[in-house]
Amino acid sequence: MKAINRFLFAGALAAALPGLSQAAPPDDTIVVGLSADASTFDPAQISSRDNSNIAKHIFASLFKVNFEGAVEPYLVDTTTISEDGLAYTFSIKPDLTCEDGEPLTAEDVAYSFNRAADPANAFTGNTPGFVYTTLGFKSAEVVDDLNVTINVTAKTTLAPGMMAQVLIHCKDSYEAMTLEQAAATPIGSGSYRLASWERGSQIVLEKVKDPGTFDTIIWRIIPEASTRTAELIAGNVDIITNVAPDQVPAIDASGSATVEKVNGTRRMQVGFNLGKGVEGMPGAAEIQDPKVRFALQYAVDVPSICTQLLGAECTRMTSLVNPPNGNPDLVPIPYDPEMAETLLDEAGYPRAENGVRFSIRLQGPRGRYLNDANVVQAIGQYLNDVGIETEVELLEWASVYSPLLRTKEMGPLFFLGQGGVTWNPLYDMSLFSTPDGATNYQSWTDQRWFDDWKLAIDADTVEAARPIIDRMLKLFYDEGPWLQLYFQPDLYGVSSRIDWTPRRDEEIELFAATLK
């Protein structure tokens, strides 16, 4: 009876709304549901991952990071590095064009690099920001039609990976545009062109050349996680990002989609703030002792946090380097609260009569990382269990947590995730390139690490630096400033009509996606 009533009700409403039902995407179209809109398509202004994911279908780059996580040539044909390692000369592939038909030459590559660095443009995107800072970008010069030289201030094995982030565009078309036009109506060098952008609703890309399986890519902006899930199950979108762990069973049971889990490159940790920003606070002196920090590694049941709170098995961290680039001799520290208690006793912090060894504050953001608030509270409870009275404080990211991080005043314990890469361990390790570096939020000053860092970064290749890297990672494992948790699992909802495998680095690459 219920089924009949439902049928009649649905029929009546459908009859009242003729021709208005939502259709599933056609076969030549793939639809992706994102949580946030793009803010700009000016290559030098892009700063968010969602924005970059779309732009990488519109613009090509000299190199790209492939699915396996290695850097490989994209527009580049051959590479020559000067003896001092300060000049990279690239020969680009012939017969390249931009979307409007303009030939793409070495002049356009040099223009793309120099335009982003031009202070007159006051760009604030990732390229003129951390990419050029890490690369040590100095200038780009045209050698001839197909050859361009990129000059850097210091030799680095990170160069190709960083250059993979610089999006290439054609000089003539961009010189004819205002900055506002460049932001809204890009002229790309990649496989797709921006066909339309309904701000806040959707972005439509149309294929102009290979690679790319689908003629049309639609990026729909669906901020609410449960709405994204509903759209996926209803068959209106093919891929959704940031699936909430509590919605995984519903998607898997729907029959129309499944959840693909991938262990990402984001390194989740509890940082030990060893600096002056928390000097004098409860617990700040105790965590200065490496033995205390090592003891706490045993206190937190990371596998249970992953399965119970994140809905996935996680890859455990053994250092700040993403697999497979870590030290293979290091194994994840198991959950062993008794061992934690023994080590804390040995470190000189026995339980007092009230059962407390010492007190400390653990701060964490709310809504920044996968189920972060619950994870932080669980960690706080695990620390309480071994006698460390932990006050958990959850803070809003944008206005409170982020400024505290920057000024290094959070903690003494703080929950944090930091993005990493698969193509070079030194990139992951560069968080600790100097004792007072911006990303050394822990103010870790162990001189052994920083002496080795200079040796590692000066090596000609990563392979040559490998013994040093392994030594550094062992030091980080034993005495480092992180309570090492997990590489954050990324959950994607994928429609059963398509074949698509997510990457580890949060990049949504649709070139190889196909219909089943």
Partner 1 sequence: MWTFIIRRLLQSAIVIIGVTLITFTALQMSGDPTYLYVSERATDEEIQRTRVALGFDKPLPEQYLTFLGKLAQGDFGNSLSYKRPAIEAVMDALPATLELTLFAMMLAIVVAIPLGVVASLNRGSPVDGSIMTMGMLGQSIPSFWLGIMMIMFFGLQLRILPISGHVPFITPLVQGNFVEAFTNLPQALYYLIMPGFAVAFYSISRNARLVRSSMLEVLGQDFVRTARAKGISETAVVVRHALRNAWLPVVTMIGLEFGFLIGGVVVVEMVFSWPGIGRLVFNAINQRDIPVVQAAVVVLALVFIALNLIVDLIYAKIDPRVKL
184 binds partner 1 (CB under 8 A): yes
221 scored as a contact of partner 1 (CB under 8 A): yes
Q: For partner 1, which stretch binds (CB under 8 A), given 265-273, 298-306, 397-405, 462-470?
A: 397-405
- Using rule CB under 8 A, residue 363 touches partner 1: no
C-alpha radius of gyration, the chain, whole number: 25
- Residue whose token pair is 């940031």: 242
Cβ-based nearer residue to partner 1, 221 or 333: 221
Residue with tokens 């050394």: 440
Cα–Cα distances (Å) from 487 to 75, 264, 335, in that order, read: 31, 6, 17
222 binds partner 1 (CB under 8 A): yes
Q: How far is the CB of 330 from partner 1 (least distance, A)?
A: 25
- State the minimum distance, in angstroms, from the CB of residue 223 to partner 1: 5
Does residue 178 interact with partner 1 by CB under 8 A? no
CB of 349 to partner 1, least distance (A): 32
State the pairing for strand pair 413-418/257-272.
antiparallel
Shortest CB 41 distance to partner 1, Å: 10
Query: Which one of residues 1, 2, 3, 22 is an interface residue with partner 1 (CB under 8 A)?
Result: 22
Q: By CB under 8 A, what part of segment 439-458 binds partner 1?
A: 439
Interaction mask 126-145, partner 1, x per CB under 8 A: x--xx--xx-----------
Does the protein bind partner 1 through residue 179 (CB under 8 A)?
yes
Is the peptide bond preceding residue 324 cis, with omega within 30 degrees of 0?
Answer: yes
d(CA 58, CA 195): 11
Asked if 352 touches partner 1 (CB under 8 A), the answer is no
- For partner 1, the binding residue among 176, 234, 253, 352 (CB under 8 A) is 234
Two structure tokens written together for 362? 């653990």
Report if residue 45 touches partner 1, rule: CB under 8 A. Answer: yes
Q: Could you identify the residue written with the tokens 């066909």?
A: 195
CA 300 to CA 385: how far, in whole Å?
Answer: 10
**371's tokens:** 């189920």
Q: Is 322 in the site for partner 1 (CB under 8 A)?
A: no
293 Cβ partners below 8 Å, 6+ apart? 272, 287, 479, 480, 481, 483
Q: Residue ranges of the alpha helices (H) in 234-308?
A: 248-254, 290-297, 302-305
- Sequence-distant (6+) residues with CB within 8 A of 187 are 98, 99, 100, 102, 169, 170, 173, 174, 177
Q: Say whether residue 406 binds partner 1 (CB under 8 A).
A: yes
Considering the complex, state which of residue 227 and residue 514 has its C-beta at the smaller distance from partner 1. Answer: 227
Q: Is 255 in the site for partner 1 (CB under 8 A)?
A: no
Which one of 41-49, 240-248, 264-272, 456-464 is the stretch in contact with partner 1 (CB under 8 A)?
41-49
Cβ(169)–Cβ(107) below 8 Å: no
65 and 71 Cβ atoms separated by less than 8 Å? yes
For partner 1, the binding residues (CB under 8 A) are 6, 9-10, 13-14, 17, 20-22, 36, 39-40, 42, 45, 47, 119, 122, 124, 126, 129-130, 133-134, 179-180, 183-184, 198-201, 220-224, 226-227, 230-231, 233-234, 236, 398-400, 402-403, 406, 418, 438-439
